[in-house]
Chain A
C-alpha cells in the first residue's frame, strides 16, 4: 500500500501561518455539537429495539399487541420475567458451563496457532493457515448429519462436553486469524533471541508470547463468548434436553401455536444479559485489544 503523499513530506517549520482563531474555534464548537447531536440520534436508533423489548416484556399478555407497541405498560408486570427466569434457569447454567470452557479452549488453541504460524515459518505454513482459516466459511447447516454421526462415534453426543468440543473446533479459524495478526506485530527478534538461547517452542510461547497476549485474549474471549452464548443450531442438534443451553430453551418459550410475546421478549432480554454485561463491562478492552493489533488485516 502506498503511504499517503502528505504524510511522506517533511513537516514545514511550525506556526508559519497565523489563522484568525476565534471564528475557527466557534465553528469547531458548532461542529462538535452537531457531532454529538448526530451521535445521539444514532444512539436512539440503536436503543429503539431494546426499548420495545423491554416494555413488551413488562406488559401482560392481553396488553401486548402490535397496535400499542410504543405505549408504556399500564402497570409494571414482572411476572413475565419471573416466568421466563423459571423456564430458563437450568439452561442459563448449562450455557455458562458451555461457553466459558469453549471460549477459553478456542482462544488457547488460536493463540498456539497464531504464534506458530506467525513466528515459525515452515514449509506449507501459509497453506496450513489458509486451510485453517477457510474453516470459518463452512456453512454449518450442510454438515449437521455427518457431525451428529461423528459425535455419536466418539461418544460425545448429547452432552455439553461434545458441544464444547464442536465450538472449540469451529472457533479455531477466527481465533487463529486474530492471534496471528496480533502476533505479527510482536518483533520477531524477541523470538529469535530466545531461540538462540536454546528455548524450545513451547517455552518461548509461555515466557515471551503469553505475557504479551492479554489484549488479544480480551478480543478473542469476548468475541467467542458472545458467539457461543448465542449459538442455536449446534446446541439443538448436538445436545439432549438435560444439557440444552439457554438459546434452545428460549426458542421453546414459543409454542407452535400461540406466541406469548411478552414472555418471549423478557426471556430474550434475560438470555442476553450475560453477553450485554460482557460488552458493557469489557467493551473498553475489546476496542483496546483491537487497537493493539488484533484485527489488522
Chain B
C-alpha cells in the first residue's frame, strides 16, 4: 500500500504540475491550445531512457530487419563505418516494407517535419509520385555528377528515377519481378516443359491439373498484383506497357481487356488457399512438389537457397514469365535525401556509400540481388545472380507496378483495391472499369 501511495504521488506530481481542481470549479472539457501541464522543463530531465541526440548520428529507415537483407545492410554499414568513422549509423529498420507500420512512422515523422537522415524507398514513382511531388526530397544530380554515377548506372534507369530533369534517389540493388520458378527435375517427372507464352501455359496447366498438381502457386493479395503486372507485360509490348503509366495507353482498351482475361484464366489454376499464404509459403509449394510453378520476384532465389537448393539442374530453375522473354521487369531499393535531413552531411555520406561499387558489392551478394551499377564484381555472385546481371545489361527494361517503380502509391492502392474486389466477384468488365477510374483518380489519366 505504501509503495502504491508513493507511486501515486510521484505520478501525480509529474502530471498535475497545475492546480488540483475542486469539484465545483470543473468545467466541461475543452481542448486547450496550449498544454501548461506538460510543457514542463522537468520533462526533459525525465528523458533518461532516450539515447543522447548526437550530431554525428545518421538515422536511416529501412525495412531490412531480418535474414539476408539485414545482414546485407550490416555489411554495407561496415563499409560506411570504415569510410566515414566520424558518423554513427543508427539503424531505424522497421519490418514489413510498403504497406505496414514503416509507412505510418515515416508519414508521421514527415508531417512533424522531423525526417530521418535518409530512408529506403522503391526507386521510381513510389518516391517520385509521393515524396518528390510533395517537395520532401532533395535532387541528387550533384551527387551523381561528383561520383560519376551517370556512367555506371544503366541509361534506361535514369529517367525512371528522375522528375522534371532531376534525379531523386540512389538505387542500391536491382530485383527482377518477371520470373517463373520451378524445379527442373519435377517438371521432368510431370512430363511438361517450361511455357513461354500464356497459351502454352494453359496447355501445360491442364496437363498438370490432370495429375493433381497445382499449376501455379500463388500467395496473399500483393502477390496477385505481382502476377497481374507480369501478365500485363506478357500480353502487350513494352511501349504499350510503359504507356499505362504515363497515360498514353488506354486502360479501357483491348490490350488491358486481354490481360484481364488471361489473369482470370490463370487464377483458375492457382491454389484456393492463396490469400492465406505468404509469398515464401507459396514458393514452398513448388519445393514440396505440390505446385509446378511460382511467379515471384528473384528474392525467391534466396529462399530456394535457404531451403538447400542450388541454381542448377538438380536444384531450382527459372525462366521469364510467359510472354516476357527479353524483358527485364525491374524494381530497385534506393535511398533518398529528405529536405531538412537530420545531419545532411552524414546523410550524403551514406548515399555515397550506397551508390558505390564497394557498398553495393558488400550488400547485394548477401541480400541476393544484383547491383544497380553495371560494374559489380562478378566473382561475388552466384549463378542465378550472374544470369540476372547479364539480362540486366542486355534486356529491354520495364518497371514493376507492385514494387513501386511505375505507379505512385495512391495509384497503386487504387489498383490493389480493384484487384481485391475482382478476386471476390471475378467480374473482368468491372475490374477494367475500376482500373480506368483508378487511373483517372490517382494515376496519369485525365
Contact = CB atoms under 8 A, between A and B. Distances in A.
A240 to B, nearest CB: 7
A255 B67 contact: yes
Given A122-B26, A256-B64, A258-B302, A217 B4 contact: yes
A232 B102 CA distance: 12
Contacts of A67: 288
A121 to B, nearest CB: 8
Nearest to A121: B23
Interface in B271-291: 278, 280-281, 284, 288
B379 interface: no
A144, A251, A258: which has the most chain B beta carbons within 10 Å?
A258
B108 interface: yes
Contacts of A258: 66-68, 280, 302-303, 306
Interface string B189-229: 00000000000000000000000000000000000000000
Given A201-B22, A243-B49, A62 B112 contact: no
A75 interface: no
A149 B65 contact: no
A128 interface: yes
A25 to B, nearest CB: 46
B374 interface: no
Contacts of B108: 144-145, 147-149, 237
A74 interface: no
Contacts of A66: 281, 284
Contacts of A211: 1
Interface stretch (A16-24, A43-51, A160-168, A180-188): A160-168
A70 interface: no
Interface stretch (B39-47, B311-319, B353-361, B407-415): B39-47
Given A144-B108, A156-B43, A160-B49, A105 B15 contact: yes
Interface string A80-100: 000000000000001001000
A253 B101 contact: no
A201 B19 CA distance: 14
B51 A242 contact: yes
Interface in A226-255: 232-233, 236-237, 240-243, 248, 251-255
Contact of A154 (B39, B95, B114): B39
Nearest to A98: B49
B63 interface: yes
B236 interface: no
Given A149-B111, A241-B90, A255-B63, 14 more contacts: A109-B12, A124-B27, A145-B108, A159-B49, A160-B50, A201-B23, A210-B4, A237-B105, A240-B50, A256-B96, A257-B69, A257-B303, A258-B66, A258-B68
Interface in A117-163: 120, 122-125, 127-128, 131-132, 144-145, 147-149, 152, 154-161
Interface residues of B, number: 64
Contacts, number: 173
Contacts of B11: 101, 104-105, 108-109, 168
A206 interface: yes
Given A65-B284, A149-B111, A206 B5 contact: yes
B69 A256 contact: yes
A259 interface: yes
A89 to B, nearest CB: 15
A255 B51 contact: no
A149 B112 CA distance: 5
A79 interface: no
A202 B9 CA distance: 12
Contacts of B44: 155
Nearest to B285: A66
A158 B108 CA distance: 12
Contacts of A158: 50
Given A155-B44, A255-B69, A62 B307 contact: yes
A236 B38 contact: no
Given A97-B49, A122-B23, A254-B65, A236 B28 contact: no
B114 A108 contact: no
Nearest to B283: A258
Nearest to B11: A105
Contacts of A260: 66-67
A292 interface: no
